[in-house]
Chains A and B, each alone.
Chain A
Amino acid sequence: MSSDPFIIAGKTMASRLFVGSARYPSQQVMLDAMAASNPCMVTMSIRRISLEGYAESLVDLLGDRYPILPNTAGCVTARDAVLTAELAREALDTNWIKLELIGDRELLYPDVEQLVHAADELVRKGFVVLPYCNDDPVTCRKLADVGCSAVMPLGSLIGSGRGVANPGAIELICARSPVPVVLDAGIGTASDAALAMELGCDAVMVDTAIAKSHDPVRMAGAMKAAVEAGRLARLAGRIPKRNMAEPSSPQLGLVGT
């Protein structure tokens, strides 16, 4: 929709859906799901090489079709996250980074203190930083203040499929954020993505909900449609919620009156 551009750091994105490249049943299913979802960016991790995994590069398959957004998934210290971002910049020739700093290995919840610190350092080093963060308006504002190009608050725990756990908080973040808001983590099905967009998110990030669904290619199409529908509904403006019924048919000329 050229009349409704989605722009991060001056770059106009091809869609409002970020898609992860992990956990698909096969490489071909992943590629087909990508084609069906039309992602604006595809996320990848940066990992130590092992000889057996070296032969085939996923980037060769994905990189020509979609912009790659490397992440710092799994990092628990600002130092490791910054180094991972720098390695990603060298490996992929991009200064964009999805910054993840994990404070609890079971919950995969962000470590806000280190996150803001690392975001600040990476912005100073010239990175376009998109931090995975809490659904907390103050944290999001701090991240924007240090120069992040977007914020990526979690809907619910990574991989949990529990959707947008705190819609009120996400709505507040969207209303107050000076930078684009990308809902990250927790999406379980298409209606979750649509809700996130209706709440005012600029985009949605999905991985597990597509990759681990029964039919990833079909779910990829569902997510694409949901994000578009949610965005249209947001722009259209929903009706207020009421406690009582309000008839939609005219009250005059009712038969028998």
Chain B
Amino acid sequence: MTRLTVNGVDEDVTATTVAQLLAARGIDPTARFLAVAVNGAVVRRATWDEAALNTGDAIEIVRPLQGG
């Protein structure tokens, strides 16, 4: 298990890549308008399959919402 902070919540996950983490959370990695950052740096979509996650990583998974 890997201990991560995902969108501000600490979680133990089996995922070892960004793509696996998205899939485990029921998020279609081909869905448009998603963006992911690990430890404060954007991880480009093209690298989600390879982008490794390690214990202690902080992940942000975001999408656009209504705003002013």
Please give the residue numbers on chain A whose beta carbons come within 8 Å of chain B beta carbons, in ascending order: 20-24, 30, 43-49, 51, 53-54, 57-60, 68, 70-71, 73, 79, 83-84, 86-92, 158, 207-208
Knowing that A48-B8, A88-B64, A90-B36 touch, tell me 10 more A-B residue pairs with CB under 8 angstroms.
A43-B67, A45-B64, A45-B66, A45-B67, A57-B63, A59-B32, A70-B64, A90-B35, A91-B63, A207-B68
A-B contact count (CB 8 A): 101
Contact A47 B65 (CB under 8 A): yes
- Chain A residues with Cβ below 8 Å from B37 are 83, 86-87
Contact B34 A49 (CB under 8 A): yes
Contact B63 A47 (CB under 8 A): yes
Contact A91 B64 (CB under 8 A): yes
Q: Which of A20, A73, A92 contacts B33 (CB 8 A)?
A: A92
Contact B62 A208 (CB under 8 A): no
Q: Pick the most buried of A21, A45, A87, A92: most chain B CB atoms within 10 A of its CB.
A: A87
- Which residues 51-68 of B have a CB within 8 angstroms of A? 60-68
Contact B45 A58 (CB under 8 A): no
- Bound CA–CA A87/B34 (angstroms): 9
- Chain A residues with Cβ below 8 Å from B45 are 90
Interface residues on B, range: 20 to 34
- Chain B residues with Cβ below 8 Å from A44 are 64-67
Contact A21 B66 (CB under 8 A): yes
Smallest Cβ-Cβ distance to B9: which chain A residue: A48
In the assembled complex, the CB of B63 is this many whole angstroms from the nearest CB of chain A, namely: 5
Smallest Cβ-Cβ distance to B34: which chain A residue: A91
Contact B64 A68 (CB under 8 A): yes
- Chain A residues with Cβ below 8 Å from B68 are 20-23, 43, 45, 71, 73, 158, 207-208
Q: Which of A43, A48, A59 contacts B60 (CB 8 A)?
A: A48
Q: Pick the most buried of B34, B61, B66, B68: most chain A CB atoms within 10 A of its CB.
A: B68
- Chain A residues with Cβ below 8 Å from B67 are 20-22, 43-46, 70-71, 73
In the assembled complex, the CB of A37 is this many whole angstroms from the nearest CB of chain B, namely: 14
Q: Pick the most buried of B7, B35, B62, B67: most chain A CB atoms within 10 A of its CB.
A: B67
Contact A86 B42 (CB under 8 A): yes
